[in-house]
Amino acid sequence: MKTLLTCFAALLLLLLSGCAVNKSQLVTLSSDNLTVQPDQGFVYDTDTLRLTYQFFNERGVIHLIIENKLAKPLYIDWKRSAFIIGQNKLDYWYDVAAVNLYGTAYTNTYARYFRNWNSGNSTVDLTGSISKENSVDFIPPGTKLTKEQFVLVPGPALVLPGQYSTEKVASSDLFNKKPVDVQTYQYTPDTSPLKFRNYLTLSTDKDFRNELVLDSKFWASGVQVMPQEQLTGGAYIGTDVQHTGATTLKSIPYYRPDSFFINYTQQVQY
């Protein structure tokens, strides 16, 4: 009887513990002052410049491209530009320098076997460099400036308020052809769980007498929740996907430059 109760308790504990399921949130963005182009992302296009935003990456890396369409230089002041998430301002430029050091430590290999050897007795030769970002960037005529500095969702998956609809869709996983349930949330700018802006200050002269301000506004207008294999088509996407290259990201079945994805693990209780 005791053995039977022990087995039952172990089975109950196993059922209560549940299991981990790999899930993905595919977040689609909208903007009220930029145009979405299917292959390029969000675009602001004038006779002066072409501003492009692309986001498709793990957790939404902001990929920013500024193209100078003038016959004279264009300047951007990073000191007066900012990424704004909710009501929190993050600066593009800080008055600090980065130090990169390279060194070799030398210790007496034989001395460390002696009883009174001082483990702190060593010498280090260091070489390095000090670098500092420009507060103002110069964009020559007919050239582009590219910048990647901020991530939209650095922490856990988005908390999704409101109701969702569920749809069975064809599986994109080559190893599993069973239809997949995809949950879809829709949001307005007022109800969205993610709102952000990118504020840029530019000029056609280095003294910024002819100042141009571009305040790009975005919000998450839709979120699809699905098994991770459905998002990737069954392919493995590493945790450091920023360095896998655009070709790998564009091979994902749900690729869209106006979207990004969050991979996470969900505990399912039985």
pLDDT bin (cut points 50, 70, 90) of residue 20 is confident
| Distance (Å, whole) CA 256 – CA 270 | 35
Domain count for the chain, please give it.
Answer: 1
pLDDT bin (cut points 50, 70, 90) of residue 66 is very high
| Residue 10 included in any domain | no
| Residue 11 included in any domain | no
| Distance (Å, whole) CA 105 – CA 117 | 17
The pLDDT of residue 185 is: 98
| Residue 2 included in any domain | no
| Residue 217 included in any domain | yes
The pLDDT of residue 206 is: 93
pLDDT digits (tens, 9 = 90+) for 29-41: 999 999 999 889 9
Beta bridge partners of 233: none
The pLDDT of residue 258 is: 97
Q: What percent of the chain has pLDDT over 90?
A: 65
| Residue 7 included in any domain | no
| Residue 222 included in any domain | yes
| Residue 1 included in any domain | no
Print the domain residue range for 180: 18-268
Residue 214, pLDDT > 50, answer yes
Residue 23, pLDDT > 50, answer yes
The pLDDT of residue 242 is: 47
- pTM of structure: 0.79
What number is the average pLDDT over the span 186-205?
A: 97
What number is the average pLDDT over the span 224-228?
A: 96
| Residue 13 included in any domain | no
Could you tell me the CA-to-CA distances from 249 to 63, 149, 173, 183, 246 in Å, in that order?
A: 13, 18, 16, 22, 5
The pLDDT of residue 18 is: 60
pLDDT bin (cut points 50, 70, 90) of residue 235 is confident
The pLDDT of residue 269 is: 64
